[in-house]
Chain A
Amino acid sequence: KAGVTQTPRYLIKTRGQQVTLSCSPISGHRSVSWYQQTPGQGLQFLFEYFSETQRNKGNFPGRFSGRQFSNSRSEMNVSTLELGDSALYLCASSPTTDRVTEKLFFGSGTQLSVL
């Protein structure tokens, strides 16, 4: 079974630009979560989607958005990039359904650098 696939692996953008990151979950997983990882703040929850519905959103500004498609693939978008958005963005899928989050399977992440 293929793991969680994230593209692109690396991305360099400049301030003010926008970026779209993609995530393909493990086959059969309908829950997709996104996390931002930085050395200072650790892993911070961005949002979680299940069957195309956002069920929870973390404490991030509205510049961060996401969506999930009918095939469970997910994208996240960051508009008007700031230097502080430089981070590793991790996508994780889970076999969870309507219960509390079960174990997460993480992708390799997208390393975003904002110059």
Chain B
Amino acid sequence: GQQVMQIPQYQHVQEGEDFTTYCNSSTTLSNIQWYKQRPGGHPVFLIQLVKSGEVKKQKRLTFQFGEAKKNSSLHITATQTTDVGTYFCAGPDSNSGYALNFGKGTSLLVTP
């Protein structure tokens, strides 16, 4: 079945360093979504990308959707301690669009 994979699994950075997480799908996606889960919290929607090659920015966060619509990335510039959490990508299930398949996430730890 469809798989959504993320790397790295963990990332530990010093505050001020940049951070990137990568997401790859085994199938072409109609859209890709990113979520953030703080420790002890629940996933919170960040953004949705729909178009091939799309790039969207939210302050220090830059999201990209690959040309083939099978991969995506999230880049954080100059990390802050508030960026700590697990970042998930998710894409609609290829068999049914009503389910989102989530990657296993990248856990980001930021040291002051």
Q: Which residues of A does B touch, CB under 8 Å? A: 31, 33, 35, 41-45, 48, 50, 55-56, 58-59, 90, 92, 96, 99-109
B residues contacting A by CB (< 8 A) are 1, 30-31, 33, 35, 41-45, 48, 88, 90, 92-93, 96-105
CB distance from A111 to the nearest CB of B (A): 10
Chain A nearest CB: distance from B59 CB in Å?
19
B48 nearest CB across to chain A (Å): 6
Q: How far is the CA of A5 from the CA of B100 in the complex (A)?
A: 20
Listed by A's residue number, 8 A-B pairs whose Cβ atoms lie within 8 Å are A42-B104, A43-B90, A48-B98, A56-B98, A59-B1, A90-B43, A106-B43, A108-B41
* A52 and B72 alpha carbons, distance in the complex (Å): 34
Select which of B41, B42, B48, B88 is within 8 A of A103 by beta carbon: B48
Question: How many contacts A-B (CB < 8 Å)?
Answer: 65
Min distance, Cβ A26 to any Cβ of chain B, angstroms: 12
Contact A106 B44 (CB under 8 A): yes
Chain B contacts for A44, CB-based, 8 A: 102
**Residue among B44, B48, B92, B102 having the largest count of chain A Cβ atoms under 10 Å:** B102
Known: A44-B102, A45-B100, A100-B98. 20 other contacts (CB 8 A): A31-B98, A35-B102, A41-B104, A42-B102, A42-B105, A43-B43, A43-B105, A45-B93, A45-B99, A45-B101, A45-B102, A56-B98, A56-B99, A90-B43, A99-B97, A100-B31, A101-B98, A101-B100, A102-B48, A104-B43
Contact check, A109 vs B98: say whether CB atoms are below 8 A apart.
Answer: no
Q: Would you call A42 and B103 a contact (CB within 8 A)?
A: yes
- Closest Cβ–Cβ distance, residue B9 to chain A (whole Å): 10
**What 4 A-B pairs come out closest when comparing CB atoms?**
A100-B97, A42-B104, A43-B102, A56-B96
Shortest C-beta distance, A29 to chain B (Å), equals 13
Chain B residues lying within 8 Å of A35, measured Cβ to Cβ, are 102
Is B45 a contact of A104 with CB atoms below 8 Å? yes
Q: Are A55 and B98 in contact (CB under 8 A)?
A: yes
Q: In the complex, are the beta carbons of B42 and A106 less than 8 A apart?
A: yes
Take A42-B103, A42-B105 as given contacts and tell me if A50 and B43 are in contact as well, using a CB distance cutoff of 8 Å: no
Q: What CA separation (Å) do A103 and B103 show in the bound complex?
A: 15
